[in-house]
């Protein structure tokens, strides 16, 4: 299971190392997590996690998303996490990567997968 969330530190006095979140007045960190879960819904552990601070000079860059390659976007985290999951999970275990609408990325579905790896959004 993959998802991205924001850690909002806007109200904190110390903001060094923080990036903007959804606008230039909110500060914090972005976190993309991949969690291993059993078919019964029992959490098995953290597969990987990316934490980053958006740079202020990238504010507004999302408006140009159709002109940029996936590897230049935050969307690349979904592909990287899928690759890491496939490396860590043995091939005799069926893996279903689940993501919300943010995971509806052509490059994610086009990425080569091992026979035991499936996607759902």
- Number of compact structural domains in the chain: 1
Which pLDDT tens digits describe the chain residue by residue (121 residues)?
999 999 999 999 888 889 989 888 899 999 999 999 999 999 999 999 999 998 877 666 666 666 678 887 889 999 999 999 999 999 999 999 999 999 999 999 999 999 999 999 9
Q: What is the CATH number of the domain that holds 81?
A: 3.90.350.10
The DSSP 8-state label assigned to residue 65 in this structure reads G
Domain of 12? 2-119
Q: How many CB atoms lie within 10 A of CB 103?
A: 21
Q: What is the pTM of this model?
A: 0.85
Q: Are 54 and 22 in contact (CB under 8 A)?
A: no
């Amino acid at each position: 299971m993959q998802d991205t969330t924001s850690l909002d530190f806007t109200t904190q006095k110390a903001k060094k190392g923080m990036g903007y979140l959804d606008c230039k007045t909110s500060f914090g960190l972005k976190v993309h997590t991949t969690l291993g879960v059993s078919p019964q819904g029992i959490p098995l552990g953290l597969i990987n996690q990316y934490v980053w601070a958006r740079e202020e000079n990238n504010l507004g860059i999302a408006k140009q998303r159709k002109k940029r390659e996936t590897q230049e976007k935050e969307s690349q985290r979904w592909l990287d996490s899928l690759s890491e999951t496939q490396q860590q999970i043995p091939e005799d275990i069926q893996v279903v990567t689940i993501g919300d609408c943010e995971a509806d990325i052509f490059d994610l579905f086009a990425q080569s997968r091992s026979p035991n790896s499936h996607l759902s959004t």
